[in-house]
Amino acid sequence: MSIGVAVVGTGFGQKIHIPGFQHHPETEVVAVWNRDLGKAKAIADSQQIPHAFNRLDKLLSLPEVEAVSVSTPPFLHYEMAKQVLEAGKHLLLEKPMTLRVSETKELYQLAQQKGLIAIADFEYRFVPAWQRLAELLQEGYVGQTRLIKIDWLAVSRADPDRPWNWYSRKDKGGGALGAIGSHAFDYIHWLFGPVKRLCAHLSCAIPQRPDPADGGKLKPVDADDTCTIMLELADGTPCQVSLSSVTYQGRGHWVEVYGDRGTLVLGSDNLKDYVHGFHLSAAPAGQNLSEQEIPKRLAFPQVFTDGRLAPFIRVADHWLNCIKSGQNTSPSLKEGIYSQLLMDLTHESHEKKCWLDVPKY
């Protein structure tokens, strides 16, 4: 028996959420929301979705909508997710969760009070190469960690002619920290444990962008496009994170883990697809790195042209299993709280130009 799902937001929602839920054998997309009703109807017609809305309250009043995925821009997340939960619907929330951790906590507590399943779309936990890295770390492959180095250097916003929009505005949740740092903070916690303290510097290399809605007029950009963050983990391990969305020929996405017994390196130089192309290499202490075969038991049953689709289907499956069991299991909105907390502290550290302790989670 299928669960009726509504997709709210039709950017990433149209590219990944709708096809992901349509591919899953136990979810049915029954409604779609866009602030422009004409666009909502056009998408619904093209995807054979029964209902289209530009009013969230009307969408939530449909009895066949049992669960809602929210993939609108971050500044809309809190109010929309709150409406979803107050209407008694299960929630899948895109990252970054909200604009501040207090809002994410409130959503998590509301879901708990209502007995609803609320999860975060942290896709990397469901990618085979990442799952194998997690297994090797759990098995103690590197021994006592000495250094963790993360580079995520992309080209997505390197062109200064890319249009100005909400992503250019800090107050709307724009910037590289929200877009990719939210993922990084989640997988740091997942793979290596909690963070004790951090120190961060945020910068913006392209301070103006043209606004096509205003005749191409240059508008100010105050959202970060490059972030350098130092973290000390609870076990004392230093962790260095470099994030950028404006690096032509950037090296891609790499996680390097150095320990007293060995080294693990996971990375992809694919700048066009942030899921396709990951390879995992390993070396015992003193030996050369060699690429590791990813066990077939971890492989996606099906891959797609867009690499984001296969892990999202696994996220949908996780959400569905949580709904069936009535249990919020990781990654739930609780993990979203921690990611948002670290983002808030990153902004605060940059503004105060100092190290900040991370409260116990």
pLDDT in tens, 341-350: 999 999 999 9
State the pLDDT at residue 360: 86
Stretch 85-105: mean pLDDT, rounded?
98
Q: How many distinct helices (H) and strands (E) make up the chain?
A: 11, 17
How far from 249 is each of 158, 175, 181, CA to CA, in Å? 10, 19, 19
State the pLDDT at residue 163: 97
Is CATH 3.40.50.720 correct for 127-300+340-357? no
Dist CA 281 CA 264 (whole Å): 6
CATH number of 3-123+310-332: 3.40.50.720
Contact 172, 166 (CB under 8 A): yes
Assessment of whether the complete model's pTM goes beyond 0.85: yes
State the pLDDT at residue 28: 98
Contacts 24+ apart (CB under 8 A), 318-321: 318/119, 318/126, 319/67, 319/90, 319/92, 319/117, 319/119, 320/3, 320/24, 320/26, 320/27
pLDDT digits (tens, 9 = 90+) for 236-275: 999 999 999 999 999 999 999 999 999 999 999 999 999 9
By CB atoms closer than 10 A (0-12, 13-18, 19+), residue 70 is buried
Dist CA 173 CA 88 (whole Å): 26
Q: Which residue has the tokens 């962008």?
A: 209
DSSP SS3 for 275: coil
State the pLDDT at residue 361: 74
Computed over every residue of the chain, the mean pLDDT equals 97
Q: Which residue has the tokens 């959420």?
A: 17
Stretch 178-207: mean pLDDT, rounded?
98
Contacts of 25 (CB under 8 A, 6+ apart): 2
State the pLDDT at residue 245: 98
Contact 351, 199 (CB under 8 A): no
Of 227, 228, 229, 235, nearest to 195 by C-alpha is 235
Going by pLDDT thresholds of 50, 70 and 90, the confidence category of residue 1 is: confident
Query: Do 3-123+310-332 and 127-300+340-357 agree at the fold level?
Result: no
Dist CA 342 CA 169 (whole Å): 19
Of 332, 359, 342, nearest to 120 by C-alpha is 332
Q: Which residue has the tokens 């929009």?
A: 165
Contact 169, 73 (CB under 8 A): no
State the pLDDT at residue 320: 97
* pLDDT value at 206 more than 90: yes
* pLDDT value at 196 more than 90: yes
Contact 331, 120 (CB under 8 A): yes
3-state helix, strand, coil in the chain (%, to 5): 35, 25, 35
Percent of the chain surpassing pLDDT 70: 100
State the pLDDT at residue 79: 98
Of 249, 307, 237, nearest to 278 by C-alpha is 307
Contacts of 62 (CB under 8 A, 6+ apart): 4, 6, 30, 31, 51
Contact 96, 72 (CB under 8 A): no
State the pLDDT at residue 338: 98
Type of residue found at 113? Q
Q: Where are the domains of the chain?
A: 3-123+310-332, 127-300+340-357
Stretch 309-314: mean pLDDT, rounded?
98
Going by pLDDT thresholds of 50, 70 and 90, the confidence category of residue 291 is: very high
